[in-house]
Amino acid sequence: MNIHYILPESRKLSLSQASEEIFLKRLSSYVKLKVIKFKPEKNGDKKFKQSKDEERLLKLIPKNTKLILCDEKGESLNTKKLLLKIETFLTSSSSLSFVIGGPYGFSEEFKTKADYKIRLSDLTMNSDLASAVLWEQLYRVFSLKAGHPYHNE
């Protein structure tokens, strides 16, 4: 099983980078994980930046993968339901790609390319914080999948 984690590049030491360092080690015993970063567009208006970010993403997303976007309008799941969704996807594909968008998110057109969209929170958060939340949830999901007990049961 291959997991691709695609997210915007941070310019400075960030929560995302600290989470990545911690959870890459923890997840390595469960899955093959590849982190892919893209440089968000800095010039132009919102639509132009979003379009350029999406062009970059399309080149980075591996072929024959289940594409899962982190989007504020995606489905809200608890950890166990996310595990069930991931297990369902893994019955038809050995590769999952989780994508966190740049500062302007995804266009409606780009969202149609996704196999699934998840919402990490009802709260608004930047991509750095979203990345830290996703790292932690992936770790919980794959710990559960490996048979480790859920923390509050």
Residue 151 lies in a domain: no
Q: Mean pLDDT in runs of 10 for the chain (153 residues)?
A: 87 77 91 92 92 94 95 93 95 94 92 96 88 93 88 64
Residue 15 lies in a domain: yes
Please state the domain count of the chain.
1
Residue 152 lies in a domain: no
The whole-number pLDDT of residue 19 equals 87
The whole-number pLDDT of residue 85 equals 96
The whole-number pLDDT of residue 12 equals 65
* 134 contacts 70 by C-beta, under 8 angstroms: yes
Residue 78 lies in a domain: yes
Residue 139 lies in a domain: yes
The whole-number pLDDT of residue 152 equals 65
Domain that holds residue 129: 2-145
Residue 153 lies in a domain: no
The whole-number pLDDT of residue 151 equals 66
Report the length, in residues, of the chain. Answer: 153
- Read off the CATH number of the domain in which 78 is found: 3.40.1280.10
